[in-house]
Amino acid sequence: MAACGRTRLWLLVSLVLVSPATGREAQFRSNHPDHPGEHEANLTGIPITSFKWEHVETPYLVALWVLVCFLCKLVIEANHHVTEYIPESALLICCGFILGGMIWGADKVQTFTLTPRVFFFYLLPQIILDAGYSMPNKLFFTNLGGILVYAIIGTCWNAASLGLSLWGCHKGGAMGKAYLALRCWRGETRSCSGPWSPSLCPSVPPSIYPSVPLFLRPFVPPFLRPSVSHVLCLRPAGDIEIGLLQYLLFGSLLAAVDPVAVLAVFEQVHVNEVLFIMVFGESLLNDGVTVVLFNVFDAFVTLGGAKINAAEIVKGIISFFVVAFGGSLLGFVFGLLISLLTRCTKKIQIIEPGFIFVLGYLAYLTAEMLSLSAILSITFCGICCQKYMNSNMDESSVQTVKYAIKVFANGSETMIFVFLGISAIDKTIWVWNTGFILLTLLFIMVYRIMGVFFLTWILNRTRLVPIEFIDQIIMSYGGLRGAVAYGLAVMLDETKIKEKNLMISTTLIVVYFTVIFQGVTLKPLVQWLKVKRASHSELTLIEKLQNRAFEHTLVAIEDISGQIGHNYMRDKWNKFEEKYMSWFLMKPSARKKQDRLFNAFHQLNLKDAMNYVDEGERRGSLEFIRNEGAFIDFKKKFDDEMSEAMPDIMADMSDDHGRAPPKRRDTVPSVSLELHEQSMRGNRAAEDFNSHHLLQQHLYKGRKQHRHRYSRSHFDINKDENEVQEIFQRTMKSRLESFKSGKMGVAPPKTITKHTKKEQQSKMLNGKNRSYLSGDEDFEFSEGDSASGYDASFPTRVAYRAGDGIENPAFMPDVDPSSTMHIPPWLADVELDSVAPSQRAQVRLPWTPGDLRRLSSLRTSVRSSDSFQLTDDRQGDRDELPPPPPPPPRRDGDSV
Amino acid sequence: MGSSSSNLNTIPNSQELMQETGFSAAHLLRLYERFEFLDKDNKGHLRPEDFEAVQELSTNPIGDIIIGSFFSPGQETVDFPSFVRILAHFRPAEKNRTRDGAQPEPANSSTGKLKFAFQLYDRDRDGKISREELLQVLRAMLEMQVTEEQLESMAERAIQEADLDEDDAISFDEFKKSLEKVNIDHKMSIHFMK
């Protein structure tokens, strides 16, 4: 099989990559890397080159590991038929097993494990930041009550019940024998504390080996078989030494549902959004509880049972509130800071996307420093800043943040799972106690189910929309444990907790069981139970409109009936937010246009336009334009499409009064930034890239093709007026040529042509056309100026797709110089004061949708195109004109 | 409770109202208190001015429209039973409500809720949302944020999305159809009326 071969090849490659590195790492560990000059002193001459491994060792290894992990993911994702059934996280763990085996084989010791420091400081923050940043805020806050109940009460319940039950079983004698493999180096007299004694160490005792049934022993990989180089202590049969408090500590570290694991598994199973946000929100917010429980019990274990009194317990409870709310508040403050900073980054756009990463990380570290909940801090930081940041920053920066944050989050998620796998292949941590492990697994499942059902029962009494029975099952089953639990387990203090290794092993088993087994079975379960899936997210305009109307209605009814309900509160908050927070945190220009409904409208139009163009391409260019009958199922929104599909023509006439068009904000409002919608957003991204590609292909290539001025702070923009002028003249010429040769029998409206020219020239004179990016093939989307960035790019793109659909080269060249100029009239309105009205009317003519409709109808009725001029008095006869427009590209030609 | 039952007696036709709307006695009482509170000079009915006196309502972009929906066409006042009947639209629907065929559709069924929503637009109650009616609502909701042309093109699009028989207006059936994917029960229910 090809896949098999691929895998083998990859194994070979990674073996080559890993083994020398690990081998050397072990080798260099012994000698000091701190004296690089030492051996150079022996040299007599100047070395031409030298091999300085220790010089680069750590960063080199880190980079190699990142690479290896990414390659793992690459290989896994290449096998679609596998990932369909087994979640990626499970496969990554298995990859980790293999890698770990190789390392073990090479080193006879696990050189690389997931250390808590690496995990909590370098891998976790970006995942949580991503979760916060792309959190569907409205959904989250609507369900916040439920989420908090699960996160706080549920987690406490999990911890307490698990700890107590294990302790009970322990007392009842269910734990049985523990096979412990404590490795002592040969000749070392290890002072095994407690019941350990060196005398008990047999010469070559097996570790887990004896517990493996005889018939399975040949299958045990050699690296797990007892090695002669080690002397191992085998713990005699007897009770494991864990007290009640230690059990509770263990319970608290295993109590929390893990955000990384949940996200990884649920991302692939598209359950309905309420269910998703419940599980995911719980996994994020329970961190506060986990941290507190862990710290409190850790302290209790240190104190010892006798010293615990009511005061300490009260302190523990208080510390919960401080940790949780303090962490959230800190995150909130940092979020505000990010919003404020992005408000004034107009001059440093190139690094503006960096703020969220740096400040988010600082929020995390600060919380860690103050021993508050770091996860809560960075979550709320992301949640709080997303809206303001997205509207303050330039659109290209927003895209940068979106992609970069995903790259980081996905990358470290990959690494976490791989390292979770690698960490397992380490004989030193494995302590097998069948009773303990099985009981833990059982209790985790059972208590999770009990907790979820009980809490849901309480919640459903007050919830407007009760959580369904099936959803509860999935919620219980989705209680995945992950790397956070493992990280906490590793952080346990061995001197205080004798059975640390047993706890680590059990935690690992629990993690593997939940991530692999439950992860694999979750999808079939969801299908089998017919859990409600994520609802369609592509609302139509009328749905959006109606949703808005519903919201207002509910608020009004609450007002009328004099009750303070959720809607009332939300309305108050929205008003407050709009009035003060937006004012404080948003750029004035960004604040002006932030109507969601309108943005939705615009977005729908853009999408239609894209569909339209795609369809046009599929049907084959000119045929598509010429043949009126070749029309397609466009959900009859022709006129809207038209305005979007043809910015190229429009753009000619659109005005450029040296004004940057007002910023178009992120078209996806925060609400719909759902994690589920990754795929949808993926599509959008794909569209972006697509069109970008098209643009690159078809952009007019000026004579000085690659005038690539490297600048660290600005993407290069072609500002040379002469060149622009030349482009313009050439394109106009070619346009006219092509027009003469092949347009569909409609006389060219000369007025328009003239007008266009005039416009163009006046534009030239204006001199402020900073957005002539067309000449620069590489950076069409990335001008340096924030204000014009998005507007420019969007219509340009659409224009290009339109052009492409037509496949008439004559139309291409001039599209972008002008289209970047284009300002949708509604956006431009505010800024046009300096322009004489008549000119303004002319200039804007085809862009107002109303006019478009009119124009289109004119086209259908094949009236004289001179009636273009009617557009000046826009208010006139709009209503009497029927809406059905012809295929937009036709008008392309007309306007020439 | 003794006091509440005595209070309940002051409400005219309280039993029928409860039967009809499904409100509990407590709910009805609370609404009655509210009604009396709104009814500043004890006329026994409310006029639009009484509604407008509610502070928050004046900031609601479609407040006027909603107030208007309380009054049947041509009428200047609304009495308590009608008031309650309107509010009954917002009661969350029970799952296991037994409905015998003789009973009319309860106000809080999703059709009932939709009807109410539809009437918000359909000011002239001709059974169709015309472009002009839609525009009015849009204008109110979007306030100053967009230009008139845009409003028009939005209305245009909304109508085209819903309009199946191409009469340039949205009938109730079309309205219902266009919103069939929206969970009306959730969107048009108020929690405390449960």
CATH 3.40.50.150 fits A116-186+250-529, yes or no: no
Q: Would the CB atoms of A565 and B192 count as touching at under 8 Å?
A: yes
Within 13 Å of residue A830, how many CA atoms lie on the same side as its CB? 12
Q: Would the CB atoms of A557 and B90 count as touching at under 8 Å?
A: yes
Question: Which amino acid would we find at residue A447?
Answer: Y
* A208 neighbors A224 (Cβ within 8 angstroms): yes
* A664 neighbors A792 (Cβ within 8 angstroms): no
Q: Which residue has the higher pLDDT, A882 or B19?
A: B19
Q: To the nearest whole angstrom, how far is the Cα of A461 from the nearest Cα of chain B?
A: 10
Q: Would the CB atoms of B56 and A536 count as touching at under 8 Å?
A: no
Q: Which residue has the higher pLDDT, A94 or A724?
A: A94
Question: Which residues 6+ apart lie within 8 Å of A392 measured at CB?
Answer: A339, A342, A343, A345, A585, A586, A587, A590
Q: To the nearest whole angstrom, how far is the Cα of B191 from the nearest Cα of chain A?
A: 6
Q: What's the angle, vertex CA A330, arms to CA A326 and CA A331, rounded to 5?
A: 120
What per-residue confidence (pLDDT) applies to A382?
Answer: 93
In this complex, which of A547, A566, A597 lies closest to B191 when CB atoms are compared?
Answer: A566
Mean pLDDT of chain B: 74
Query: What count of other Cβ atoms lies within 10 Å of the Cβ of residue A142?
Result: 17
**Cα gap A306→A301, rounded to integer Å:** 10
Q: Provide, as residue numbers in chain B, all residues whose Cβ is less than 8 Å from the Cβ of A542.
A: 158, 161-162, 178-179
Q: Provide, as residue numbers in chain B, all residues whose Cβ is less than 8 Å from the Cβ of A555.
A: 56, 60
- Chain B interface mutation, best of A465, A557, A879, highest count of B Cβ atoms under 10 Å: A557
Per-residue pLDDT for A198 more than 50? Answer: no
Q: Provide, as residue numbers in chain B, all residues whose Cβ is less than 8 Å from the Cβ of A849.
A: 149-150, 152-153, 156
CATH 2.40.160.60 fits B106-194, yes or no: no
pLDDT band at A363; cut points 50, 70, 90: very high
In this complex, which of B34, B63, B90 lies closest to A562 when CB atoms are compared?
Answer: B34
Q: Provide, as residue numbers in chain B, all residues whose Cβ is less than 8 Å from the Cβ of A848.
A: 149
- Give the total residue count for chain A: 896
Q: Would the CB atoms of A566 and B161 count as touching at under 8 Å?
A: no
CB of B24 within 8 Å of any CB in chain A?
Answer: no
pLDDT tens per residue across span B32-46: 888 878 777 777 777
Residue in B with minimal Cα distance to A851: B149
Per-residue pLDDT for B19 more than 80? Answer: no
Query: Which ranges in chain A are annotated with CATH 1.20.1530.20?
Result: 116-186+250-529
Q: Would the CB atoms of A559 and B150 count as touching at under 8 Å?
A: no
CB of B130 within 8 Å of any CB in chain A?
Answer: no
Domain boundaries, chain B: 14-90, 106-194
SS3 A271: strand
Q: To the nearest whole angstrom, how far is the Cα of B188 from the nearest Cα of chain A?
A: 6
Per-residue pLDDT for A409 more than 80? Answer: yes
Per-position DSSP letters for A473-538, written without gaps between them? HHHHHT----HHHHHHHHHS-TTT-TTHHHHHHHHHHHHHIIIIIIHHHHHHHHHHHTPPBPPP--
Question: Which amino acid would we find at residue A170?
Answer: H
Q: Provide, as residue numbers in chain A, all residues whose Cβ is less than 8 Å from the Cβ of B162.
A: 542
What per-residue confidence (pLDDT) applies to A361?
Answer: 94
Q: Please give the model's pTM, rounded to 2 decimal places.
A: 0.66
Q: Which residue has the higher pLDDT, A549 or B193?
A: A549
Q: Would the CB atoms of A549 and B147 count as touching at under 8 Å?
A: no
- Chain A interface mutation, best of B153, B170, B172, highest count of A Cβ atoms under 10 Å: B153
Q: Would the CB atoms of B149 and A825 count as touching at under 8 Å?
A: yes
Q: Would the CB atoms of B149 and A575 count as touching at under 8 Å?
A: no
Q: Which residue has the higher pLDDT, A577 or A487?
A: A487
pLDDT band at A84; cut points 50, 70, 90: confident
Same fold yes or no, B14-90 and B106-194:
yes
Query: What count of other Cβ atoms lies within 10 Å of the Cβ of residue A729?
Result: 14
DSSP-derived letter for residue B24 is -
In this complex, which of B34, B61, B160 lies closest to A561 when CB atoms are compared?
Answer: B34
Q: Which residue has the higher pLDDT, A541 or A238?
A: A541
pLDDT tens per residue across span A664-714: 333 333 333 333 444 444 445 555 555 555 555 554 444 444 455 566 666
Return the axis-axis angle of helices A483-491 and A500-512, rounded to nearest 10°: 180
SS3 A227: coil
Per-position DSSP letters for B61-113, written without gaps between them? TTHHHHHHHTS-TT---EEHHHHHHHHGGGSPPPSS----TTSPPPTTSHHHH
Q: Would the CB atoms of A849 and B149 count as touching at under 8 Å?
A: yes
Residue in B with minimal Cα distance to A461: B194
Q: Which of residues 148-167 of B touch A (CB under 8 A)?
A: 149-150, 152-154, 156-158, 160-162
CB of B39 within 8 Å of any CB in chain A?
Answer: no
- Chain A interface mutation, best of B161, B185, B189, highest count of A Cβ atoms under 10 Å: B161
Listed residue (A657, A778, A768) closest to A707, CA to CA: A778
Per-residue pLDDT for A2 more than 50? Answer: no
What per-residue confidence (pLDDT) applies to A567?
Answer: 74
What per-residue confidence (pLDDT) applies to A703?
Answer: 46
pLDDT tens per residue across span A285-329: 887 788 888 888 888 888 776 777 788 888 888 888 888 899 999
**Strands of the sheet with A230-234, listed across from one edge:** A230-234, A179-185, A431-432
In this complex, which of B157, B178, B182 lies closest to A637 when CB atoms are compared?
Answer: B157
Per-residue pLDDT for A524 more than 60? Answer: yes
What per-residue confidence (pLDDT) applies to A210?
Answer: 54
Q: Is A549 left (phi over 0), alpha (psi -120 to 50) or beta?
A: alpha
- Give the total residue count for chain B: 194
- Chain A interface mutation, best of B80, B142, B182, highest count of A Cβ atoms under 10 Å: B182
pLDDT tens per residue across span A557-602: 777 777 777 777 787 888 888 778 777 777 777 666 556 667 777 7
User: A10 burial class (0-12, 13-18, 19+ CB within 10 angstroms)?
Assistant: middle
Question: Which CATH code, of 1.10.238.10, 3.10.20.30, 3.40.50.150, 3.40.50.300, is assigned to B14-90?
Answer: 1.10.238.10
Question: Which residues 6+ apart lie within 8 Å of A168 measured at CB?
Answer: none
pLDDT tens per residue across span A840-887: 444 444 444 444 444 444 444 444 444 444 444 444 444 444 444 444
pLDDT tens per residue across span A260-278: 888 888 888 888 888 888 8
Q: Which residue has the higher pLDDT, A789 or A378?
A: A378
CB of B15 within 8 Å of any CB in chain A?
Answer: no
Measured CA to CA in angstroms, residue A145 lies from A238, A281, A459, A460, A552 at distances of: 46, 11, 9, 12, 22
In this complex, which of B37, B63, B188 lies closest to A550 when CB atoms are compared?
Answer: B188
